Amino acid sequence: MEEKIGFVIRGAEGITLFKGVTNPKEVYKHLVDDPANDVRVMNFSNSGKYLSFCNSINTYLIDTETGEELLCHPLAKPTIIVFSPKDTYFVTWEDYCIYGRRTNADGTVRTPNPNINYFSIAEKKHVKNIIGKRKEDVPQWTSDEKYMLQIVGSEILAFEEGNIDKSKFKTVINDVNCIAVCPHHIQHLFTAFIPSKNEVSKAELRRIDKDMSLVSSLTFNNCDKLTMIWNFQGTAMLALASVDVDKTGKGYCRIPFLQILSFNGEKCRINFDKEGSVHNVKWSPTGSHFAACYGYMPAKITVYNVLGNPVWNLGECHRNQIHFNAQGNLFITCGFGAFAPGKIQIFNFHEQKEIKTIEVQNTTHLEFSPDGQHFYTATQAPQMRVDNCYRMWKYAGEMVYEFSPTTKFVLGKVQWKPMPEVVNHKFNPSQLLKNDKPLCSVNSSESGTLISGEFELNSTVCEPATDFEAPSTSKDSSNTEHMAASQPKTKTQKRNERKKKRDERFVRWKIC
> Which tens digit of pLDDT belongs to each residue from 209-232?
988 999 998 888 878 788 999 999
Neighbours of 4 (CB within 10 A): 14
Average pLDDT, integer, range 301-307: 91
pLDDT of residue 496: 67
140, 180 in Cβ contact below 8 A?
yes
- Phi–psi pair at 47, nearest 5 degrees: -85, -15
**What pLDDT band is residue 380 in, cutting at 50, 70 and 90?**
confident
462, 509 in Cβ contact below 8 A?
yes
CA distance 421 to 152: 36
Who wins on pLDDT, 474 or 35?
A: 35
CA distance 83 to 92: 9
Average pLDDT, integer, range 392-410: 86
Find all residues with CB under 8 Å of 218, minimum gap 6, and list them.
Answer: 202, 203, 239, 259, 261, 267
CA distance 290 to 323: 10
pLDDT of residue 466: 31
Average pLDDT, integer, range 55-69: 93
DSSP string, 28-73: EEEE-SSGGG---EEEE-TTSSEEEEE-SS-EEEEETTT--EEEEE
Q: Which amino acid is at 59?
A: T
Say whether pLDDT at 81 is over 80: yes
Say whether pLDDT at 367 is over 50: yes
Neighbours of 476 (CB within 10 A): 8
**What pLDDT band is residue 396 in, cutting at 50, 70 and 90?**
confident
Neighbours of 436 (CB within 10 A): 15
Who wins on pLDDT, 447 or 207?
A: 207
Q: Encode pLDDT of 315-353 as tens digits.
A: 888 888 999 999 888 999 988 877 677 888 999 998 888
Q: Encode pLDDT of 172-210 as tens digits.
A: 999 899 999 999 888 899 999 998 867 788 999 999 998
Q: Encode pLDDT of 100-138 as tens digits.
A: 788 888 888 888 889 999 999 999 999 999 999 999 999
Say whether pLDDT at 431 is over 80: no
pTM (2 decimals)?
Answer: 0.79
pLDDT of residue 356: 87
**What pLDDT band is residue 473 in, cutting at 50, 70 and 90?**
very low
The dihedral of CA 12, 15, 20, 25: what is its sign? negative
* Torsion on CA atoms 495, 497, 502, 508, rounded to nearest 10: -150
